[in-house]
Amino acid sequence: MSESANDAAARGRALREQIFGPEGMRALDNADDFQMPLQDAVTRICFGEVWSRPELSLKLRSMLTIAMLAGQSRPAQLKNHVKGAIANGVTKEEIREILLHAVLYYGLPAAADSWGQATAALKEIDAY
């Protein structure tokens, strides 16, 4: 891995842990040879190169991610990112408003599924 790739990996690891805590690091720390390419991409590219850019705050990135995941009906990812959003300063009320807005643009089924996952995530971290 090049020096810049190593830097991105280190930035990504630190940011990933900051947002998701030890639980969010489990997939990376436990990755085997088959899973490591995905975990490397998530850590190095997603968090080390994109999420760490200064042009958008972590709070705004979390809010955008929740909205996009709601639209894609990706409940497991959404649940994880709701927890990360709380760590990035997004409030329960802001998450509610994002999901309400999603009803208008993504439809009721996708938004309802996302709302259920967001509720479960907030309850798991005592933010409900």
Tell me the three state secondary structure of residue 52.
Answer: coil
Chain segment 38-75, per-residue pLDDT in tens:
999 999 999 999 999 999 999 999 999 999 999 999 99
Spacing of C-alpha 93 from chain mean position: 18
Put simply, whether the predicted model's pTM sits higher than 0.85 gets the answer yes
Q: Does domain 56-128 bear CATH number 3.30.365.10?
A: no
Domain ranges within the chain, ordered by starting residue: 1-55, 56-128
Chain segment 79-125, per-residue pLDDT in tens:
999 999 999 999 999 999 999 999 999 999 989 999 999 999 999 99
